[in-house]
Amino acid sequence: MQDLYEKAARVKMVIFDVDGVLTDGSLFLGDDGQEYKAFNSKDGHGMAMLQASGVQIGIITGRSSDVVRIRMESLGVKHVYQGRRDKLPAFRDLCVRLELDPGEIAYVGDDVVDLPIMVRAGLSIAVQDAHEWVKKHAHWITPHGGGRGAARDVCELIMDAKGLLKDAMAKYTQLD
């Protein structure tokens, strides 16, 4: 656990996959071709708290969807890469543009397409219901599944490792 907290304390950016990580992996398609996804509000609040603590958030997803764009805009996530079946170039672009070492990045994935980044990131995280190969390459596996609180697990782990979680939560328990 010590090694996990040391890795998490170094994190300056968390990159999330979307389908299977920020959602449960279900894809709802309407007759008109419109794509729908369900996001967990607790995950969103965790992401907002993490950003408020000074950690940047990025998204790299293989699919392109207006709903992802809208959700990330609502959370203030500025680094969104959609339609990236090969995710590694987006990861490298973020490292260069933001002047981050891969060791300062946490990556959260669920399927084998996430492995090229996971083996390079300083902290590799698999959601609880990830593919077994992904779990084998993860430094940590979340207690919750994708779209069911996994992103919140990640955000709280990183804030805790940085010594920021207690203060972030205290404001919700202070009574006037």
Identify the burial level of 63 via C-beta atoms within 10 angstroms of its C-beta, where 0-12 means exposed, 13-18 middle and 19 or more buried.
middle
> Residue 17: which domain range?
2-167
Residue 152 · residue 30 · CB < 8 Å: no
Q: Scan for tokens 């973020």, then name that residue.
A: 94
Find residue 124's DSSP bridge partners.
107
Q: In the chain, what is the straight-line distance between the N-terminal and C-terminal CA atoms, in Å? A: 37
Domain count, the chain: 1
The pLDDT assigned to 2 comes to: 77
Whether residue 176 has pLDDT greater than 60: no
Residue 173 lies in a domain: no
Residue 174, in any domain of the structure: no
Q: Under a CB-based contact definition with an 8 Å cutoff, are residues 18 and 63 in contact?
A: yes
Query: Comparing 40-44, 132-136, 167-171, which segment has the lowest mean pLDDT?
Result: 167-171
Residue 176 lies in a domain: no
**Helix 41-52 / helix 150-161 crossing angle, nearest 10 deg:** 20
Average pLDDT score over residue span 68-84: 97
CATH classification of the domain holding 38: 3.40.50.1000
Task: Name the pLDDT band for 37 (thresholds 50, 70, 90).
Answer: very high
Asked if residue 8 lies in contact with residue 161, where contact means CB atoms within 8 angstroms, the answer is: yes
| Banded pLDDT at 175 (limits 50, 70, 90) | low
